[in-house]
């Protein structure tokens, strides 16, 4: 059973607007969450992370929000740019283990 879920396989957004990508998880022991971005024919690239002691982490145009009670995290991209078009994966891990659990990804298309 998948412990990390991304229920939207795809998302289209106009350039300059906000992109919101969502991720849900089932394991309440997860305490470290990451977002990766993947272009075709390339491996996933780390984008931003958040630990469970925070509810928000910001890095430039990218902000990750964590709602522990809802077991939900989201990635906000503002403003969206055509170069942001990629597949975005969320991932989670627990404690000191180095096993990460990944979602199936959301394909973001930013329309110029």
Partner 1 sequence: ETGVTQTPRHLVMGMTNKKSLKCEQHLGHNAMYWYKQSAKKPLELMFVYNFKEQTENNSVPSRFSPECPNSSHLFLHLHTLQPEDSALYLCASSQIPGTVRQPQHFGDGTRLSIL
**For binding to partner 1 (CB under 8 A), which residues are involved?**
2, 4, 32, 34, 36, 41-46, 49, 51, 89, 91, 93, 95-105
The answer to whether 37 and 86 have CB atoms below 8 angstroms apart is yes
The answer to whether 49 and 32 have CB atoms below 8 angstroms apart is yes
Q: Quote the least distance from Cβ 87 to partner 1, whole Å.
A: 11
Question: Residue 74 or 107: which CB sits closer to partner 1?
Answer: 107
Question: Residue 15 or 101: which CB sits closer to partner 1?
Answer: 101
Structure tokens at 63: 């902000």
Question: Residue 45 or 67: which CB sits closer to partner 1?
Answer: 45
Q: Quote the least distance from Cβ 96 to partner 1, whole Å.
A: 5
Q: Quote the least distance from Cβ 95 to partner 1, whole Å.
A: 8
Torsion of CA 73, 79, 85, 86, to 10 degrees: -30
């Amino acid at each position: 059973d998948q412990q990390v879920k991304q229920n939207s396989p795809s998302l289209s957004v106009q350039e300059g607007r906000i992109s919101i990508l969502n991720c849900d998880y089932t394991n309440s022991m997860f305490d470290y969450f990451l977002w990766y971005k993947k272009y075709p024919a390339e491996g996933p690239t780390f984008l931003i992370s958040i630990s469970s002691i925070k509810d928000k982490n910001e890095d430039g145009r990218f902000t990750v929000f964590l709602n522990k009670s809802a077991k939900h995290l989201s990635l906000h991209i503002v403003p969206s740019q055509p170069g942001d078009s990629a597949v975005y994966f969320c991932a989670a891990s627990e404690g000191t283990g180095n096993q990460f659990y990944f979602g199936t990804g959301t394909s973001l298309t930013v329309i110029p």
